[in-house]
Amino acid sequence: MSWVVLVVSGLMEAVWATALGKSDGLSRLGPSVVFFAALAASMSGLAYAMRDLPVGTAYAVWVGIGAVGTVVYAMLAGDEPASALKMLFLAGIIGCVIGLKVTH
């Protein structure tokens, strides 16, 4: 269950990072509300997962999922260009996250 919560928390990290970018320095209400709600959910889930998982592994997986999710969303939304090298490096992050799960 901790791994499922950790993955969802990582996705919530991508949500709060994206909302923070769209909040214009927390000056726009809608994205700011989404930012704080997703931040609370993400941190709570990370804290829950860390009860059963090692801190280093949980944090690395959480950051990796959040980073990949944020970049993929930005590429799909057209806010960031996609390239073959970028996709290769994102696949590397995903591979490392899977490796941490497998070796746990």
Give domain limits for the chain.
2-103
- The one-letter amino acid code at 91 reads A
How many CA atoms are closer than 13 Å to the CA of 41, on its beta-carbon side? 19
**Residue 19 pLDDT > 90:** yes
pLDDT of residue 45: 98
- Taking only the tens place, the pLDDT of each residue in 35-92 is 999 999 999 999 999 999 999 999 999 999 999 999 999 999 999 999 999 999 999 9
pLDDT at 101 over 90: no
Buried residues in 53-83 as b, exposed as e (16+ CB within 10 A)? beeebbeebbebbbbbbbbbbbbeeeeeeee
